[in-house]
Structure 1
Amino acid sequence: MKIVLLNERQAEAVYCGQMVRDFPESELKPFATILGMMRSGIYEPLAFYEQDGTLTAYAWQTVLPDRESALIDYFAVAPARRGNGAGTRILAALAEYYAPRKRTLIIECEHPAEAPDPAAARRRIGFYLRAGARATAMESRVFGVRYQIYALPAGGGAPDRQINDDLKEIYRRTVPQPYYRGNVIFFGE
């Protein structure tokens, strides 16, 4: 499997060809926002390809250079590759990719109690737990959506306190005021 850090043109192709299919419009950042984060050096869109060049999956992260954790912003496996362990293998490869410079990959999962599809939210959480993630004590509410926070160890794993601080800093730097105040809330630390 080949991991590729996408350039702007490649990222736009995955965004338009895959992400608009894999995520509801309400969950997608505008591509212009993603480009701005890429250009500022804090956003890393990765794609995972088979030897024949077929896209297997993608994982796009917010990565602050001075923090121990990165936030998995978008993760999806190509529909034809789902259900055969590809997602678990990709997450392991992703953790290995980040291990030299990050201790933890942060995963936000919609809380099943408030998700539009509670069964899908529980399946997603189960997938991440089976792949080696662990629940943290932290939750968030971001623009009205309640999330449970999970941690996937990369370079040894960070303690919850560090993960909490890193996630707060990621949002502080990526959500401009006045949008942050009242729309990004953390609790249960």
Structure 2
Amino acid sequence: MELRIPTLEQLRTVYDRDLRASFPAAELKPLRNIEEMWAAGRYRPWCLFDGDDIAGEAFLWLGHPGWALLDYLCVASDRRNGGLGSVILEKLRETEGDTVIFGESEIPRYAPDPAMAERRLGFYARSGARTAGYDTEMFGVPYKTLYWAAGDVDEAALMEEHRFVYASTFAPDKFARYVRIPFDPQAGLGAKVEWQQ
């Protein structure tokens, strides 16, 4: 199996086949946004190829050089429960070895399915993720912040890079209204909205 960048047509296929089926509409970027960000050099859609078949994906939303947000991790529905999620993350870390990859996973107590959120956090921990000292809230959904890095990471720098990814994409009023880095549970949750609104 090999991790590589797909063609535009392959990207469109896995978006429809895998991402639409696996992510709630509120968490899924429109395909046109992904394509525009990729064309602008701000997005890297890695796919795990098994021969000509794509078994899964790990899409990176790029920040400053050396920093990237793991935007989506997905295994094709007919290939699940075979350890491919871990394979994708392992190959991603090898391929992006000089990059601090950070991500978000729902905080179980706020999740619609707390047990699933706990399992997801356990999967990421087994895959080498470290938990940052701050949480986030995106469009009304609170997340734990996770990251993978070859060495030590300054958490203040991590938080700034995390903010940068969103602030460099969204208009200032949208960023101020819907992105909270760090998330303060005492402030209450924002309204849940689809990210493209």
Calculate the TM-score normalised by the size of structure 1: 0.90
Q: Is this contact kept in 1: 2:18–2:77, CA < 8 A?
A: no
Equivalent residue of 2:143, what SS? strand
Q: Give runs of aligned pairs for residues 119-158 of structure 1, distance below 5 A.
A: 119-153=115-149, 155-156=150-151, 158=153
Deviation at 1:72, TM superposition (A): 0.4
CA separation in 2, counterparts of 1:178 and 1:162? Answer: 23
Counterpart residue number, 1:111: 107
TM-aligned CA distance change 1:68 to 1:165, over 3 Å: farther
Amino acid at match of 1:151: Y
Deviations 1:52-108 (A, max 9, x none): x222210111112x3432100000112333223221121111011111x41x21110
Give aligned pairs, total: 184
Q: Is this contact kept in 1: 2:45–2:58, CA < 8 A?
A: yes
Unaligned runs of 5+ residues in structure 1 are none
CA separation in 2, counterparts of 1:184 and 1:169? Answer: 11
Name the % identity: 30
Structure 1's consecutive aligned runs of 4 or more residues displaced over 4 angstroms after TM superposition are: none
Q: 2:77 aligns with which of 68, 76, 79?
A: 79
Are 2:7 and 1:7 equivalent residues in the alignment? yes
Unaligned runs of 5+ residues in structure 2 are 185-197
CA separation in 1, counterparts of 2:172 and 2:121? Answer: 31
Q: Provide the alpha-carbon RMSD of the alignment.
A: 1.7
Q: Is this contact kept in 2: 1:110–1:148, CA < 8 A?
A: yes
Are 2:43 and 1:43 equivalent residues in the alignment? yes
Calculate the TM-score normalised by the size of structure 2: 0.87
Are 2:85 and 1:90 equivalent residues in the alignment? no
Counterpart residue number, 1:62: 61
Q: Is this contact kept in 1: 2:138–2:180, CA < 8 A?
A: yes
Are 2:170 and 1:175 equivalent residues in the alignment? yes
Q: Give runs of aligned pairs for residues 154-169 of structure 1, distance below 5 A.
A: 155-156=150-151, 158-169=153-164
Deviation at 1:156, TM superposition (A): 3.2
Equivalent residue of 2:171, what SS? coil
Deviation at 1:157, TM superposition (A): 5.1
CA separation in 2, counterparts of 1:31 and 1:177? Answer: 22
CA separation in 1, counterparts of 2:155 and 2:68? Answer: 13
